[in-house]
């Protein structure tokens, strides 16, 4: 009886992992980990304020966007829908700041955009 319960428990555990993987829950965490590791190894002193992970339906690849405290965007594309293990395209850094300059070349104001 204990052997049947153990086998049943293992099968339920494997089924739960399978469902979480196919629905994209586990691959999203893998994508966040891989992209944040890439960000930390290639950019110095970036303090992440927020992030966004999207699955591109066109390419079946994850796009991970990180924003720092100054609202600068760091964006990366990862290689696979089910196992995003490496960054294949670095889409950053892209500045999201617009500066207003007068005719003398003096900065009057600046705006940050998302």
The domain spans of the chain are: 2-97
Other beta carbons within 10 angstroms of residue 70's beta carbon come to 12
What's the CATH code, domain 2-97? 3.10.450
Whole-angstrom distance, CA of residue 48 vs CA of residue 6: 43
Please list the alpha-helical segments (H only) found in the chain.
2-22, 25-42
41-53 pLDDT, tens digit each: 877 777 788 888 8
| CA 53 from centroid of its chain's CA atoms | 4
- What was the pLDDT predicted at 12? 96
What would the pLDDT profile of 58-104 be if each residue is shown by its tens digit?
A: 878 888 888 888 888 888 888 887 888 788 777 665 444 555 566 66
Per-residue pLDDT, 5: 92
- Measured in residues, the chain has a length of 114
DSSP state of 1: -
DSSP assignment letter at 94: B
Could you tell me which residues come within 8 angstroms of residue 76 by beta carbon, excluding any fewer than 6 positions away?
35, 38, 39, 63, 64, 87, 89, 90, 91, 92
pLDDT of amino acid 100: 56
18 has pLDDT over 90: yes
């Amino acid at each position: 009886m204990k052997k049947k319960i153990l086998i049943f428990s293992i099968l339920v555990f494997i089924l739960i992992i399978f469902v979480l993987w196919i629905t994209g829950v586990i691959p999203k965490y893998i994508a966040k980990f891989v992209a944040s590791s890439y960000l930390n190894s290639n950019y110095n002193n970036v303090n992440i304020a927020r992030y966004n992970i999207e699955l591109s339906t066109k390419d079946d690849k994850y796009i991970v966007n990180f924003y720092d405290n100054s609202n600068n965007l760091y964006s990366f594309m990862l290689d696979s829908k089910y196992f995003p293990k490496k960054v294949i395209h670095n889409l950053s850094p892209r500045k999201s700041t617009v500066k207003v300059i007068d005719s003398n070349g003096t900065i009057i104001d600046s705006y940050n955009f998302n």
